[in-house]
Amino acid sequence: MLPEERRQKILENLEDAKVVSIQDLSDKLNVSEMTIRRDLGILEEEQLLKRTRGGALITQSFSKEPQFEIKLSKQGSVKETLAHYAATKLVNNDEVIILEGGTTVSNMAKFLTPYRNLTIITNGLHTLNALQDLLPYNTLICPGGILREKAQTFVGPITERYFQEFHAMKLFLSATGYTRESGFTDPNMLETQLKHKMIQSAAQKIVLFDSSKFGIRSLSPAFSLSDINILITDEGIPQEFLTEFEANSIKVIKVPNI
């Protein structure tokens, strides 16, 4: 198990139990108590928990990660509307693009069939399957890595290294929540680490983000306003967030629901 996976497991245990002991974590994760102490120290520095004598406790509640199918159906019509706009207005033939493997972006696949000579890189297994209708006129690339069952995405060092080795014209991505204090956040640390690498490898970063996610904070910081160029959202975006994004020179596109 990678250190990042282990720390994610610690946080998941803590989210369920609210308080955990070093000994219990050591037994569950089959590592030494010293390793657990080191992990707790790192997580405390990231303000994700508070260490106690012999363990740790959670300091705040975060948005948990549901199964992929559940996420896909939540705000389904809005997600599809945002994806339709992104795919039909912001993609051109002959481009190299990244589709992050989340549910909102995966909806773009069905609207990309008219294009030719695209190179599409995705870490999403569901997204990759949905893109198969684009063959043989376009190129599909999936870097592989550790497959997360819940999210149906590939993550980890292998995946991260792949995104360090090439340059894309556009990156389409999303997140679980956004707050002014924490930026864009997601429930899984491996996912957020990968998004950092994706952002570094793309010239233009485009976020698909339905308005129900504003004001929600998830576990791990994924990216900030300074990392993105365009936000595609619906007309329900609260005015305070619209003002904040525009003040940071981000182009905000409000798409009417179909």
The answer, yes or no, to whether residue 67 has pLDDT greater than 70, is no
3-state secondary structure at position 14: helix
How does the average pLDDT of the chain come out, rounded? 91
DSSP 8-state code for residue 134? G
The per-residue pLDDT for 86 is 99
Domain with CATH 3.40.50.1360 in the chain: 68-255
Class of domain 3-57: mainly alpha
* Alpha-carbon span 216 to 230, nearest angstrom: 20
CB 208 within 8 A of CB 86: yes
Domain 68-255 annotated CATH 1.10.10.10 = no
Q: In this structure, are strands 230-234 and 220-223 parallel, antiparallel, or unpaired?
A: unpaired
Structure confidence by residue, pLDDT tens digits, 188-231: 999 999 999 999 999 999 999 999 999 999 988 999 999 999 99
| CATH 1.10.10.10 segments of the chain | 3-57
pTM of the model: 0.81
Could you read off the pLDDT of 161-185 as tens digits, one per residue?
A: 999 998 999 999 999 999 999 999 9
